């Protein structure tokens, strides 16, 4: 058994198939298949259940993949330790992020590229619950996400920003009962057609929490998993949407309304697993403020 075999198996497991794994590893599919078969013969058991439509891990595969990931991380750390002694830094950093905050990463990523051009970065955009699981599994090295206190357990966190959310509407929509400064209440917002994000999104979790705390019930008219799609629905006056103020500013043609009180809010932070950060991860963290 060697590191390359482990890398191939992990790629198949993470990509969900041999073709996608081959594309990720830049090899032909037959090479991936033969590598997996050779390892399965050596182990004396199948690692994957193969059907016409999908590939899934067997119980043996479920046990093998986490151990393989840990071995690959240890090998990468060993290489990085030698690189640091030689005055160079290489490797790959996988960064998890949510929609709405990934654009803010361009400055630290550019600084990392200028300082260490041999470090590659892989961005993984997903719902906050999926990113939290990926941090636990080790498939993400660090993440820029909004987590509540319970979700932060077992992680090293550093606060990047804390902001309130606003209600976004089409310019021509007049909100009944809005205050002189354009403020609205959660109860008034609940009576409007709402464009909501899907469960599991950090924005949705924060909005749900605020409405529950205010004892206000609401029923979404639309549920979307894309910020641009939400803005288009609002722009066409099909509904209103609650989103962080920093995201709302990206749509200057839409109208924003502050909540008079109990506004939903979120805390965006950089998070990573406990323990010493690998050199490439530490280098990126230095540029995140």
How many angstroms separate the CA atoms of 160 and 145, rounded? 10
Cβ atoms of 202 and 98 closer than 8 Å: yes
Residue 180: the pLDDT is 46
Residue 178: the pLDDT is 52
Q: Helix (H, G, I), strand (E, B), or coil: what is residue 129?
A: helix
Residue 210: the pLDDT is 94
Strand partners, 159: 269
Residue 102: the pLDDT is 64
Considering only the C-alpha atoms of the chain, give the largest distance between any 2 of them, rounded to a whole number of Å. 74
Q: Which of 110, 66, 109 is nearest to 270 (CA)?
A: 109
Residue 103: the pLDDT is 59
Residue 289: the pLDDT is 72
Residue 215: the pLDDT is 93
Beta-carbon contacts of 3 under 8 Å, excluding residues fewer than 6 positions away, are 71, 72, 75
Beta-carbon contacts of 127 under 8 Å, excluding residues fewer than 6 positions away, are 98, 198, 200, 201, 202
Q: Helix (H, G, I), strand (E, B), or coil: what is residue 184?
A: strand
For the chain, 289 residues long, the average pLDDT of each consecutive 10-residue run is 92 90 90 93 92 86 91 82 75 85 79 90 87 86 87 87 92 65 85 92 91 92 92 95 92 92 90 87 88
Q: Which residue has the tokens 């902001």?
A: 163
Q: Which two tokens stand for residue 37?
A: 């078969």
> What is the reported pTM?
0.69
How many angstroms separate the CA atoms of 54 and 260, rounded? 51
Which residues of the chain form beta strands (DSSP E)?
Answer: 48-50, 55-57, 91-97, 119-125, 142-146, 155-169, 194-197, 222-224, 240-244, 255-257, 265-273
Other CB atoms closer than 10 Å to residue 187's CB: what's the count? Answer: 15
Q: Are strands 194-197 and 240-244 parallel, antiparallel or unpaired?
A: parallel
Provide the Cα torsion 69, 146, 97, 13; round to 10°: 30
DSSP 221: S
Q: Which two tokens stand for residue 182?
A: 């354009």
Q: Give the side-chain half-sphere CA count within 13 A for 52.
A: 0
């Amino acid at each position: 058994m060697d590191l390359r075999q482990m890398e191939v198996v992990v790629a198949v497991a993470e990509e969900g198939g041999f073709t996608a794994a081959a594309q990720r590893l830049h090899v032909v599919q037959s090479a991936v298949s033969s590598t997996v078969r050779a390892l399965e013969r050596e182990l004396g058991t199948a690692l994957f259940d193969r059907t016409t439509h999908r590939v899934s891990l067997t119980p043996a595969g479920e046990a093998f993949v986490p151990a393989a990931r840990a071995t690959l991380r240890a090998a990468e750390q060993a290489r990085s330790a030698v690189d640091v002694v030689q005055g160079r830094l290489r490797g790959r950093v996988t960064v998890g992020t949510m929609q709405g905050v990934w654009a803010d990463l361009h400055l630290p990523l550019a600084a990392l590229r200028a300082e260490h051009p041999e470090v590659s970065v892989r961005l993984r955009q997903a719902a906050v619950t999926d990113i939290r699981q990926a941090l636990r599994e080790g498939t993400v090295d660090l993440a820029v996400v909004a987590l509540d206190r319970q979700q932060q357990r077992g992680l090293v966190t550093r606060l990047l920003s804390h902001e309130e959310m606003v209600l976004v509407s089409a310019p021509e929509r007049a909100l009944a009962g809005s205050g002189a400064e354009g403020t609205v209440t959660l109860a008034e917002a609940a009576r409007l057609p709402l464009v909501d994000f899907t469960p599991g999104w950090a924005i949705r979790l924060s909005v749900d929490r605020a409405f529950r705390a205010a004892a206000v019930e609401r029923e979404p008219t639309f549920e979307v998993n894309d910020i641009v799609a939400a803005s288009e629905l609002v722009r066409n006056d099909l509904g209103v949407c609650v989103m962080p103020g920093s995201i709302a500013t990206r749509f200057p043609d839409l109208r924003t309304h502050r909540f008079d009180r109990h506004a939903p809010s979120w805390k965006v932070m950089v998070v990573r697993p406990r323990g010493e950060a690998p050199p490439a991860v530490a280098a990126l963290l230095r540029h995140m403020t």
